[in-house]
Each structure stands twice: as structure tokens, then as C-alpha cells.
Amino acid sequence: MWVVVPIKPFALAKRRLSVVLTEPERARLARAMLTDLLTTLSHCERVTRVVCVTREKAVPAIAERFGAMVLPEAEPGLSKSVFQAARHLHAEGAKELLMLPTDVPLATSLEIDQLIIRHGWAPAVTLVSDEEGYGTNAIAVSPPDLMPFRFGRRSFEAHRAAATALGARVQTLRSPGLALDIDRPDDLRRVMSYERALGTLELLTEIDVLSRLAPQPVVSAAGQWNL
């Protein structure tokens, strides 16, 4: 299966982390997460090839190391970028695609392969939500241009409803590594609790991000909050 990876310009990535990371640090984080994802995809048995959709000038050199192709982003916006890739792949004869974001460094090759295996026959849509069940952290679609993409607020339900309306076979899967995305400061703390050989974790350790995060409250035996 073809995997589509939409990539924002690194300088614009993860603005909600600006309370703990500077702009150059956020750009480094975006680069590290992309590299981690491409590394993971390179170990997947069920991935045919990867296409990066972006206008970030640093991506082609990174993609080349992993044999990924780059599709210049025609219009900004996640939904538009993924659908651009879908149309391109359909024109090239691809039968299906899997969209993955870059901010899921804990995703494993086994999880991704299992998602692809379980996707099944067209017309079909397979969805993995974020931990809260609102966002779409992975979506497999066959044929690739089956439907417009609806990323944004509550996109998980929007994608499921759109696929159902088209008569597609819809599956929703639980996938812990794909569900945990780095979006808010507390996500950094949670990711740092894992021991994995990842460039993302190396970077966050290097800049000592944990020292910048607000301490978590602790409940005492008497039921009082200790800060």
C-alpha cells in the first residue's frame, strides 16, 4: 500500500508547543519526527512506497535517504494536500492509500502493517483515531480518491460518516502508537516516558524539555492536591 505523509513547513509546525519550545526547536522536532516515521515505514513489509506532500525545502533530501518520493504541495491545507496525493496515486494506477501524520513517533512497523492487512477490499475506509477519539491519526482509503478528506475538528467522525454515506466498508481500529500524537506540552511528557531508539526522544532529551514542563499535581493520602 502507498503511504501518504503530509508535511507542513518545519518553521510552521507545532505552534501549540510554543510555550515550551522555541521556533528553531519546533523545526528540529518536526524534522526528527519525520525522520522517525520514514525510518519506521522503511521496516514495514506491507508498504509499497511513500509519497511526501509538502512545500518544505528540506524534505527532498530527507525523503531521498528513504527512497520516498516528493509531491510538491499545490495548495496549503491538510485535507487538500492528502486529496492531491490521492488524485495523483489514482492517476498512477494505485488502488489504495494510507495517510499517516508525522507526529506519531511511537507508531511501530507492526501496527502499520497490521492496519494495512486488515484494510481489505474496496470500497473501504479504515480509521485510527487519536486518544480522545476526535481526530484522525491514520486513514486508509481504497480507491485512493474515494472521498474528500475532512481533517480538522472532530475529523474522525466526519470521515466515518462520509465513508458510510458512500457505501464503503468502514473499520475503526485501536492502535496505541498511532493514537498518541505530539500536539500539546503534556504529550511531550508522555512520549518521554517511553524508552525507544528515536531521534525525537534524543532531541527532547538533548534540550531537556522535561525541565520546562509544569510539574504535575500529586494527590496526597489525605486527598489534598500537592503541587
Task: Please give the residue that has the higher pLDDT: either 226 or 8.
Answer: 8
Peptide bond into 9 cis (omega under 30): no
Model's pTM, two decimal places?
0.92
Rounded distance, CA 101 to CA 97, Å? 13
Q: What mean pLDDT is reported for the chain?
A: 94
Which tens digits make up the pLDDT trace of 51-110?
A: 999 999 999 999 999 999 999 999 999 999 999 999 999 999 999 999 999 999 999 999
> Which residues neighbour 199 within 8 Å (Cβ) at sequence distance 6 or greater?
32, 35, 36
pLDDT, one tens digit per residue, over 131-177 is: 999 999 999 999 999 999 999 889 999 999 999 999 999 999 999 99
| pLDDT score at 214 | 74
pLDDT of residue 217: 61
Phi, psi of 126 (to 5 degrees): -120, 130
3-state secondary structure 73-126: CCCCCHHHHHHHHHHHHHHCCCCCEEECCCCCCCCCHHHHHHHHHHHCCCCEEE
What is the 3-class SS of the chain, one letter each residue? CEEEEEECCHHHCCHHHCCCCCHHHHHHHHHHHHHHHHHHHHCCCCCCEEEEEECCCCHHHHHHHCCCEEEECCCCCHHHHHHHHHHHHHHCCCCCEEECCCCCCCCCHHHHHHHHHHHCCCCEEEEEECCCCCCEEEEEEECCCCCCCCCCCCHHHHHHHHHHHCCCEEEEECCHHHHCCCCCHHHHHHHHCCCCCCHHHHHHHHCCHHHHCCCCCEECCCCCEEC
Superfamily of domain 2-180: Spore Coat Polysaccharide Biosynthesis Protein SpsA; Chain A (3.90.550.10)
Residue 225 has a pLDDT of: 46
